[in-house]
Amino acid sequence: MKLDKNITYKSYGNQAILIEWEAVIHKEILNDILEFKYKIEQQKEIKFSDLIVGYNSLTIKLNQPFKDLEIEKKVLKSIYSSKIRVAQKDHFIWEIPVCYDLEFGIDLKEVATKKRLTIDEVIQLHSEKTYTVFFIGFLPGFLYLGGLKERLFFDRKPNPRLKVEKGSVAIGGQQTGVYPVDSPGGWNIIGKTPIPFFNVDEENPCFAKSGDLIKFKPISLDEYLKIKNKIEQNCYQISKTLAQ
Amino acid sequence: MIKVLKAGFYASIQDRGRVGFAAMGVPVSGAMDMFSAEVSNSLLNNDLDDAVLEITFGGTELQFLSDTFIAVSGANFNPVLNQKEIRQNKRIKVCEGDVLSFRKSSLGARSYMAVKGGFQTTKVLKSRSQFKNITQTFRVKKDELLAIKLHPKDLKPTNASLKISPNHFVSSFIECFKGPEFYLLSEKQKKILLNTVFSISSDNNRMGYRLKETIKNNFFSILTSAVLPGTVQLTPSGKLIVLMRDCQVTGGYPRILQLSESAISVLAQKTTNSELKFKLNFI
């Protein structure tokens, strides 16, 4: 796939600038966005409070309203094309244990039946893939993951549940994800992880970041309870390896 | 300490919000009417980052367990201190045991009470703003004790009060900029957007205000991208949602307008059935 790397700069109110790439979900676009983001983080000219990554966008929230978009654009363009080597951030592959037991995977049967798959095939298709964290949004610690296999695409529920439990692993349309907190939600629940995706008591409340990778590892109900116990006693480390 | 005798309809501790955590999906939060919150802090020579109490629709009753100074700004809930009316936008000395009651509103939806030195409730992710799943509670509760600065440096009592233009509460004009997807609108849709007097539906809270009138459209969702407090989204059903301080950090509906910072404060004082008109500002 040949990607158009032309990017556009738009004002978003008078205190934010929206930078947009071609409207496709693609890892190469994400890499370009992240490289630009790291360059912005390392410069001093543009003073910002937040950098928000989207599938094909980067939004810069500025500390102060800007007067002339053209001036900001010029500075940003020179940052984008600068050849300075950015200190590459380490990206990790996080191994997330998931219990696909039917006790947790309350929609697993329906997904399997309608997709003409066995439950084991759904579990295998879901857990053999490595997913890319595009960005975090919707809820604190909710990862937007790319890479769900087409055979698992499954429409959201027509009527969302009022409460989906924290840790639920679910499929919604062409996406898969983990609910970081109890929340209303319309995705189809296929399992549950004991891993907390957002914890305000940690120095870094959300372990994953844009560009990291996620791999789900099937575990038994027994292992689920063991890990949950360890997490409660604060003696569990999520397994991670450095991504290439 | 300040003891909450009655929580009222909805009251929460707010400051200028959580800056720098959007990349983890954490909303900004902060005072809905930032302008009035800043006025109340300024009257006490507080830092503008100090936390204040945001009181929505009144009904809140507080007892001071130590002497301090307070200032009340924003919506007028006709507050009484030990049953005696007090003035808004004025520095007021309160003594141990005093009871402050907020009654019903004569103007506006949200009132702000600043206390000398600011509320000292727990900071989470660099802010005291209460928000579900971030702070332990998302609103103040009956019988709760709210920590304040003890022995604040004495301030001179003053009879002077600040005059705030009633425009902040009665103006129906909401100043805004073109949003990133404004260009999707046809000339006819733009006319409807900028000439309609919109009214606020009952679905309005710290996350966002849904408007009643609709704009027909056949727009597709956009690829999920950042949204900000003050963003006006147009949904496929034609409904407009104005996002407020507790909004999510990303969304997928076209962003057709962006309110100015002061317009967010103006809108925060409006509620169900209030009318408004968008006024486009060009940059």
Reduced to 3 states, what is the DSSP secondary structure of residue A35? helix
Interatomic CA distance for residues A223 and A217, integer angstroms: 11
Token digits of residue B217: 């459209």
Residue percentage of chain A with pLDDT more than 90:
84
User: CA B212, B217, B218: angle at the middle one, nearest 5?
Assistant: 140
Of A15, A50, A53, the CB nearest to B20: A50
- Interface probe for B, chosen from A21, A26, A50 (most Cβ of B below 10 Å), is A50
Chain B's closest residue to A198, CA to CA, is B24
> What pLDDT sits at residue B208?
96
Per-residue pLDDT of A33-66, as tens digits, reads 999 999 999 999 999 999 999 999 999 999 999 9
Name the class of domain A8-81.
Answer: alpha beta
Interface membership of B225 toward A (CB under 8 Å) = yes
Closest CA–CA distance from residue A154 to any residue of chain B (Å): 18
> What pLDDT sits at residue A3?
66
Closest CA–CA distance from residue B277 to any residue of chain A (Å): 17
Task: Report chain A residues whose CB lies below 8 A from the CB of B26.
Answer: 140, 205
Side chain identity at A107, as an amino acid letter? D
User: CA A132, A133, A138: angle at the middle one, nearest 5?
Assistant: 140
Interface membership of B230 toward A (CB under 8 Å) = yes
Closest CA–CA distance from residue A122 to any residue of chain B (Å): 27
Closest CA–CA distance from residue B83 to any residue of chain A (Å): 41
Sheet holding B92-94, edge to edge: B10-14, B52-56, B107-115, B68-76, B92-94
* Mean predicted confidence (pLDDT) in B17-39: 97
> What pLDDT sits at residue A105?
97
Interatomic CA distance for residues B176 and B57, integer angstroms: 26
Chain A's closest residue to B17, CA to CA, is A49
Query: Which position has the higher pLDDT, B98 or A4?
Result: B98
Cβ(A125)–Cβ(A152) below 8 Å: yes
Who contacts B123 (Cβ-Cβ below 8 Å, separation ≥6)? none
Assess whether pLDDT exceeds 70 at residue B152.
Answer: no
Contacting B residues, span 171-200, partner chain A, CB-CB under 8 Å: 177-180
> What pLDDT sits at residue B87?
94
Interatomic CA distance for residues A111 and A154, integer angstroms: 7
Q: Where is average pLDDT lowest: A115-129, A138-152, B151-165, B174-188? A: B151-165
Cβ(B66)–Cβ(B150) below 8 Å: yes
* Mean predicted confidence (pLDDT) in B26-45: 97
> What pLDDT sits at residue A1?
59
Interatomic CA distance for residues A171 and A114, integer angstroms: 14
Q: How many CB atoms lie within 10 A of CB A144?
A: 23
**Interface contact flag, B249 A141, Cβ < 8 Å:** no
Token digits of residue A234: 């604060």
The one-character DSSP state at B115 is E
Q: Where is average pLDDT lowest: A179-188, A233-242, B149-158, B266-275? A: B149-158
Look at phi and psi of residue A80 and say left if phi exceeds 0, alpha if psi is from -120 to 50, else beta. alpha
The alpha-helical segments, DSSP class H, found in chain A are 27-41, 69-81, 108-114, 119-127, 221-232
Tell me the DSSP string of B109-135. Answer: EEEEEEETT-B-PPPBTTB----TTTS
Q: Among 2.130.10.10, 3.30.1130.10, 2.40.100.10, 3.40.50.2300, what is the CATH number of B171-280?
A: 2.40.100.10
Task: Report chain A residues whose CB lies below 8 A from the CB of B25.
Answer: 136-142, 180, 198, 206
The alpha-helical segments, DSSP class H, found in A176-242 are 221-232
> What pLDDT sits at residue B174?
97
Contacting B residues, span 110-169, partner chain A, CB-CB under 8 Å: 124-125, 133-134
Query: Which position has the higher pLDDT, B222 or B26?
Result: B26
* Mean predicted confidence (pLDDT) in A80-90: 79
* Mean predicted confidence (pLDDT) in A138-149: 94
Q: Which superfamily is assigned to A92-242 in CATH?
A: Cyclophilin-like (2.40.100.10)
Per-residue pLDDT of A88-140, as tens digits, reads 678 999 999 999 999 999 999 999 999 999 999 999 999 999 999 999 998 99
**Interface contact flag, B125 A69, Cβ < 8 Å:** no
- Where are the domain boundaries for CATH 3.30.1360.40 in chain A? 8-81
> What pLDDT sits at residue B158?
73
Distances, alpha carbon B172 to alpha carbons B33, B77, B210, B228, in Å:
15, 21, 16, 22
> What pLDDT sits at residue B160?
74
**Interface contact flag, B125 A205, Cβ < 8 Å:** yes
> What pLDDT sits at residue B279?
97
Assess whether pLDDT exceeds 80 at residue A151.
Answer: yes
Give me the residue spans of the domains in chain B: 2-166, 171-280
Closest CA–CA distance from residue B232 to any residue of chain A (Å): 11
End-to-end, the C-alpha distance of chain B in Å comes to 46
Assess whether pLDDT exceeds 60 at residue A161.
Answer: yes
E strand or H helix at B34: helix B34-42
* Mean predicted confidence (pLDDT) in B99-110: 92
Most distant CA atoms of chain A, gap in Å:
60
- Where are the domain boundaries for CATH 2.40.100.10 in chain A? 92-242
Q: How confident is the model at residue B156 (pLDDT cuts 50, 70, 90)?
A: confident
The b/e string for A207-231 (b: 16+ C-beta within 10 A; e otherwise) is bbbbbbbbbbebbeeeebeebbeeb
Task: Report chain A residues whose CB lies below 8 A from the CB of B251.
Answer: 137
Per-residue pLDDT of B176-186, as tens digits, reads 999 999 999 99
**Interface contact flag, B260 A200, Cβ < 8 Å:** no
User: CA B141, B144, B145: angle at the middle one, nearest 5?
Assistant: 145
Beta bridge partners of B55: B11, B111
> What is the average pLDDT score of chain B?
94
> What pLDDT sits at residue A2?
63
Interatomic CA distance for residues A90 and A38, integer angstroms: 12
- CA-wise closest residue to B153 among B3, B62, B44: B44
* Mean predicted confidence (pLDDT) in B46-71: 96
Per-residue pLDDT of B233-264, as tens digits, reads 999 999 999 999 999 999 999 999 999 999 99
